[in-house]
Structure 1
Amino acid sequence: MAIKERKERERQDMRNLIIDSATQLFLKQGYDKTSIRTIAEDIEYSPATIYLYFKDKDEIFYVIHENAFAILDKQFRKHDSIENPFDRLIAVCKTYVKFAMDNPDYYDLMFIMRAPLSQIKSVEKWDAGECAFEYVLDTIAACLEANLIKPVDKYVLAISVWSFGHGLVSLYVRERLSVMEMPDDVMLTMMESSVNFFLENLRV
């Protein structure tokens, strides 16, 4: 392996180490109580080392967001082959629910944890997050064009659909549904049935 390639791999390995540590610390003690110093202590490097890879804590949080939304968007796009846009919308919403159930830590960081989004606001385009939302928006637009759902503004519909899904899975992620004492497979079926119920009420 060439020296340049080895150095690049080592650099990426260090970035991943920092990101993995920060992810766990954010989840364990929250955004505000996590600092560059605590991340450095966790991976047993100096804070100065971390600043070689990230300018601040907010940038690390942004990268975690990007990675998580990229995974979600990739899963959404597996449904490209579904020709009927309403069926595709159902599949996308169920994928959203399954993603949250399979990745509760990621979901917490993406949608629930209190943290400033100054890094996201400062970039010209938030690629991964916007792509995931635009996929839902485009699918809803296709449903409207095919007269499959009620004629409501596509943005209103997109926000309504996403908010319903978020509320549903947030109850699961924050263990507010644990009182129902359902195994995860039964819980998933119940949540998917809730998605069906909500979306069927959008039909014309």
Structure 2
Amino acid sequence: MAIKERKEREKADMRNLIIDSATQLFLKQGYDKTSIRNIAEDIEYSPATIYLYFKDKDEIFYVIHENAFAILDKQFRKHDVIENPYERLIAVCKTYVRFAMENPDYYDLMFIMRAPLSQIKSEEKWNAGNCAFEYLLQTIDACLERKLIRPADKYVLSIAVWSFGHGVVSLHVRERLCVMGMPDDVMLSMMESSLNFFLASLKA
């Protein structure tokens, strides 16, 4: 392996090590209580090393967001093959729920944890996050065009669908539904049924 290629691989490995450590510390301690020094101690490097890769912890948090939303968006895109947009909307909502069930830590970081989003705001466009929302928006727009759901502003409908899904998922991720004493597979079925019931109320 050429020296340049080895250095590039080592650089990528270090970035991934920092991101993995930061993710776990954010989840364990919270964003505010996690510092660059904490991350450095966790990976047994100096804080100066981390600053060679990231300007601050906001940028690290941004990368974690980008990675997580890219995974979610990729799962959404698998539904391009579903010709009927209403059926595609149902599939997207189920994917959203399953993503949260399978990746509760990522979901917490993406949608629940309070943390400064200055890095996102400083970007010209938040590509990963926008792509995921745009897929929902385009699917709802297609439903409206084919008169499969009742007429309404597509942005209002998109936020309504997202908010309902987020509410149900958040109750599970933050373990508020544990009082129901249901196994995870039964809980998943119940959450998907709740979304189907909500989506049915939108039908024309």
TM range (shorter): over 0.9
**1:80 is paired with a residue of what secondary structure?**
helix
Note if 1:142 corresponds to 2:138: no
Note if 1:83 corresponds to 2:83: yes
**1:28 is paired with a residue of what secondary structure?**
helix
Q: Percent identity?
A: 85
- 1:133 corresponding residue in structure 2: 133
State the shift of 1:133 in Å: 0.1
Note if 1:109 corresponds to 2:109: yes
State the shift of 1:2 in Å: 1.1
Normalization by structure 1: what TM-score?
1.00
State the shift of 1:91 in Å: 0.1
- Deviations 1:127-171, CA, capped at 9 Å, x for gaps: 000000000000000000000001000000000000000000000
Runs ≥4 in structure 1, deviation > 2 angstroms? none
Mind listing any 5+ residue stretches in structure 2 that lack a counterpart?
Answer: none
- 2:18 corresponding residue in structure 1: 18
Q: Distance in 2 between matches of 1:150 and 1:108?
A: 32
- 2:159 corresponding residue in structure 1: 159
State the shift of 1:104 in Å: 0.3
Letter in 2 for 1:58: D
Which structure 2 residues correspond to residues 40-79 of structure 1 after superposition, within 5 A? 40-79=40-79
- 2:33 corresponding residue in structure 1: 33
Q: Distance in 2 between matches of 1:95 and 1:178?
A: 21
- Deviations 1:27-81, CA, capped at 9 Å, x for gaps: 0000000000000000000000000000000000000000000000000000000
Q: Distance in 1 between matches of 2:165 and 2:4?
A: 45
State the shift of 1:100 in Å: 0.3
**2:128 is paired with a residue of what secondary structure?**
helix
**Higher mean C-alpha displacement, 77-86 vs 2-11:** 2-11
**2:125 is paired with a residue of what secondary structure?**
coil
Mind listing any 5+ residue stretches in structure 1 that lack a counterpart?
Answer: none
Query: How many residues are paired up?
Result: 204
- 2:196 corresponding residue in structure 1: 196
RMSD: 0.4
Q: Distance in 1 between matches of 2:163 and 2:195?
A: 12
Q: Distance in 1 between matches of 2:94 and 2:51?
A: 39
**1:45 is paired with a residue of what secondary structure?**
coil
Q: Distance in 1 between matches of 2:2 and 2:93?
A: 45
- 1:100 corresponding residue in structure 2: 100
Letter in 1 for 2:18: I
Q: Distance in 2 between matches of 1:196 and 1:103?
A: 22
Normalization by structure 2: what TM-score?
1.00
